[in-house]
Amino acid sequence: MSAPFVFEQQVRRPVTAVVVLAIWALLLAAWLWMEAALWLLAVIAVFTLPALRDLIRNPAAGLTLSDDKITWHTGRYEGALEVAEIDHMRLDTRLDFSVRATAVLTTGRKIRLPFEATPPHRAFEAALQARGITVKRFHFQLMQ
C-alpha cells in the first residue's frame, strides 16, 4: 500500500477580493459622479454576493486518493468512489487553460470532480497512474 495522495486548499483567493472591491468602487463612482440610479447599481451589486459569501466563509476543498478509494469535498458537498469502479479518468484542458477532471466509471457513467477540489493536473495524473488508473488527456475541445 502506498501513502495516500492528499490535496487540500482554501477556496478564498486574493484575486476574488480585488475583483469584488473593484466592482464596488466602480458602482460607487457611478453613483457619485454619474448619478446612476441606486436600484440599477443594487441589481449589479447582487451579482457580487456569491463571491462575497465565499470570501467570508472561506470553505475548504480537497481530494484524497488512496489505493482503493477516491474522496473529495468542497464546501458542504462530498463525494467518494471506489477505484475499482473507475474505468479511466478524463482530464480536459479548457480554453482558459484550467483542467477539469471527470471519472468515467465502468458502467459508462461520468462523474465530474468539482473544480475547487481538483489538484494540479501533473501531480494528480502521476498519482492516478501510480495506482493503475488509466488517464486520458483532451486539450481544447469546444464540444464534448
- Give the domain range for residue 107: 5-10+59-139
Q: How many domains does the chain have?
A: 2
Beta bridge partners of 134: 88
- List the grid coordinates of 104: 468515467
CB crowding 40-78: b at 16 or more within 10 Å, else e: ebeeebeebeeeeebbeeeeebbbbbeeeebebbbeeee
pLDDT of residue 112: 94
Residues 78 and 94 in one domain: yes
- The 3-state DSSP class for residue 19 equals helix
pLDDT of residue 75: 80
Confirm whether pTM is higher than 0.85.
no
The answer to whether residue 34 sits within a structural domain is yes
User: What tens digit of pLDDT does each residue of 47-66 get?
Assistant: 999 999 988 988 899 999 99
Residues 23 and 64 in one domain: no
Which amino acid is residue 114, in one-letter code? P
Using CA atoms, how far apart are residues 66 and 97, in angstroms rounded to an integer? 27
pLDDT at 144 over 60: no
- The 3-state DSSP class for residue 5 equals strand
pLDDT of residue 143: 61
Average pLDDT of the residues in 29-53:
94
Residues 20 and 90 in one domain: no
Q: Where are the beta strands (DSSP E) in 14-133?
A: 60-65, 69-74, 77-82, 86-93, 99-105, 110-112
Are the beta carbons of 103 and 70 closer than 8 angstroms?
yes
Residues 66 and 125 in one domain: yes
Strands 134-139 and 60-65: unpaired
Average pLDDT of the residues in 99-127:
93
pLDDT of residue 127: 92
The answer to whether residue 144 sits within a structural domain is no
The answer to whether residue 97 sits within a structural domain is yes
Residues 29 and 89 in one domain: no
The answer to whether residue 67 sits within a structural domain is yes
CATH code (residue 93): 2.30.29.30
Residues across the chain:
144
User: What tens digit of pLDDT does each residue of 67-110 get?
Assistant: 999 999 998 889 999 999 999 999 998 888 889 999 999 999 99
E strand or H helix at 91? strand 86-93
Residues 25 and 63 in one domain: no
